[in-house]
Amino acid sequence: MYQVDPGESKKRLDHFLAQSCLPFSRSRIQKILDEGLITVNGRIEPASYRIRGKDLITVHIPPPSPAEDAPEEMDLDILYEDPSLLVIIKPPALVVHPAPGHPNGTLLNGLLGYLTKGETEESEGPARAGLVHRLDQDTSGLMVVGKSSEVVDQLMVQFRDRHVSKSYLALAIGILPSKRGLIDAPIGRSSGDRKKFAVTASGKPSQTRYRVVTSYAEGYSLLDITLLTGRTHQIRVHMHHLGHPLAGDPVYRKRGRKETHPFPRIMLHAAKLGFTHPVTNERLDFSAPLPKDMEEALSTLHPLAPDPATDVKP
């Protein structure tokens, strides 16, 4: 269940759900709306409904349709598994959900293949690949997957209420003047390109903490980044706003600026993830090593000696 902040008023229901609540494409959200599985204040509303402050939006996430999301055999890097959930390490270049241009071969297809393995026609139904959050196609790292709608719902509440800890390793262009910092700048749709996001006065409150791990002679900085909020493209948008876009990012970068090194993708890795187990109430914390492509990219750079004068004590 989600309660609309007054600042979100007048947004379309489907836009609000896609941007703030559900890790699905807008077309899939539309289908869920059409099936009457999303209500506003207890009533079924159309996708075009303009939300109002304090509206209560209730979502029942249905199992994916096998006709649309076919199980596929895929090698998954499973870091942890129990009867309720999985924690996996997503490799770079793997798309999370089927979408135009990527109808199959996605993480969702692979999860369905893994979770339905061994089921028979007498089984109650296909296992649920309950993706709780998103990673961009080029971003590697940790993701948690629920095996039931109840577990998925409880994990989504933890994400919504900011009870999940997430940190990333990112390579940014330039040498940052401060070793630590907080970027506190609202993020919303870009007025110049609706497919992009930007720091804008009308955006949602967004906060990102960063710490410089290593600076490099070639003009790059390796950062340890912690998200205090969870906006789409938040790290990429905030680092671009700071004047230090991520290496290899083809979308959020300064016009006309060429990088001194070619990078195979956006240099961003979800390195740590922590949450409370929805069933056992145990706190779980995971870490994932850098993938090979990012490790190799860093090995071509030359670290600068630490400068105590610019360091900021915790």
- Classify residue 266 by burial, with Cβ atoms within 10 Å: 0-12, 13-18, 19+: buried
- Of 236 and 264, the structure prediction assigns the larger pLDDT to 236
Q: Residue 312's pLDDT band (boundaries 50, 70, 90)?
A: very low
Residue 287 has pLDDT above 80, yes or no: yes
Structure tokens that stand for 127 in this block: 């296992």
Find, among 137, 139, 129, the residue nearest to 166 by Cα.
139
Q: What is the Cα–Cα distance from 14 to 232, expressed in whole angstroms? A: 15
Q: Regarding the domain delimited by 2-59, which CATH topology (the fold level of the hierarchy) does it fall under? A: 3.10.290
pLDDT in tens, 24-42: 767 777 777 877 788 888 8
Structure tokens that stand for 55 in this block: 């509206």
Task: Output the CATH code of domain 63-161.
Answer: 3.30.2350.10
Residue 225 has pLDDT above 80, yes or no: yes
Give pLDDT, residue 248: 93
In CATH terms, are 63-161 and 165-269+294-310 the same topology?
A: yes
**3-state percent breakdown (helix, strand, coil) of the chain, nearest 5:** 20, 30, 50
Q: What is the Cα–Cα distance from 42 to 103, expressed in whole angstroms? A: 34
Structure tokens that stand for 22 in this block: 């559900």
Q: Is 138 a catalytic residue?
A: no
Q: Residue 120's pLDDT band (boundaries 50, 70, 90)?
A: very low
Number of H helices, E strands in the chain: 6, 16
Residue 122 has pLDDT above 50, yes or no: no
Among 14, 136, 138, 249, the active-site one is: 136
Query: 165-269+294-310 is classed in which CATH architecture?
Result: 2-Layer Sandwich (3.30)
- What are the boundaries of each domain within the chain? 2-59, 63-161, 165-269+294-310
Best mean pLDDT range from 52-61, 74-83, 119-128, 191-200: 74-83
Q: What is the Cα–Cα distance from 73 to 111, expressed in whole angstroms? A: 9
Identify the H or E element spanning 247.
Answer: none
Give pLDDT, residue 118: 58
